[in-house]
Amino acid sequence: DLKGFIFDLDGVIAGTAQYHGQAWHQLADELGVTWTEELANGLKGVSRMDSLEMILKAGGKENDYTDEQKVAYATKKNDNYLSLIKQLTPADVFPGIKEFLDDLLANGYQISLASASKNAPTILEHLQLASYFTKVVDPATLKEGKPDPEIYTRGAEILGLDPANCAGVEDAAAGVASINGAGETSIGIGTRSELAEADVLFGDTNELTLANIKAQMDK
């Protein structure tokens, strides 16, 4: 039985995945790396430095820069990203998310956050959702990023729950792999072609309800 829900942030709670994409696209252009949809999808859910490595690799430039230069590029991307998220308001919370969170709490479920983003606390403040997420995995304390299970394992741990009693909600293939690896129920928001391994799948956040989840799990 499900007792807890562990949420990704970017692309699940709000449309910030798009801003990450925009900021990486701009950096890829500057580095002379061709931006493709495949690259964009592969970056979803992936940590800041791992994302930069993936971009450099896609352009065959993984050996062209020193660690110091890489940190400078990642910082530049983040500054650009921060300027894009400055204007976020509660109106940017995806449809149905607030209702789902309220319903979960009203029904005694526990919730935690498993975002790889170091900007997650800032974004939750902007969206006025910080009070829902008193339990947040700090990505700075992780050894491995998504698709490794570590972040979703920790998401269950901070709730004091067995992973088998937890579901994770994700928009990224790397995130779904992390949830599945942790032994939790994976709920994907997106398309079956992108999130082939999701246990439960919705095309849109407004379909994310306890009744709809139960209906797909019972099938």
- Could you give the residue numbers annotated as active site? 8, 10
Q: Is 142 annotated as a binding residue?
A: no
Cis preceding linkage at 147, omega within 30: yes
Q: Is 192 annotated as a binding residue?
A: no
Q: Does 10 bind ligand G6P (CB under 6 A)?
A: yes
State in Å, rounded, how far the first CA of the chain is from the last one: 15
What residue 115 binds from Mg ion, ligand G6P, none (CB within 5 to 8 A, per partner kind)?
ligand G6P
Q: Binding string, 29-68, against ligand G6P, x = CB under 6 A?
A: --------------xxxxxx--x-----------------
Reading the block at residue 16, the tokens are 């910030």
Q: Does 115 bind ligand G6P (CB under 6 A)?
A: yes
| Close Cβ partners of 24 (under 8 Å, ≥ 6 residues apart) | 40, 43, 51, 55, 77
Site for ligand G6P in 154-213 (CB under 6 A): none
Least separation in angstroms between residue 114's CB and ligand G6P is 9
Pairing of strands 200-202, 185-189: parallel
Q: Residue 55's closest CA among 43, 64, 67?
A: 43
Q: Is 154 annotated as a binding residue?
A: no
CA 60 to chain centre: 27
What residue 47 binds from ligand G6P, Mg ion, none (CB within 5 to 8 A, per partner kind)?
ligand G6P
Least separation in angstroms between residue 116's CB and ligand G6P is 3
* Rounded CA separation 92/16 (Å): 9
Do the Cβ atoms of 154 and 164 come closer than 8 Å? Answer: no
Q: Which residues are annotated as a binding site for Mg(2+)?
A: 8, 10, 170-171
Rule CB under 6 A: which residues touch ligand G6P? Answer: 10, 17, 20, 43-48, 51, 78, 115-119
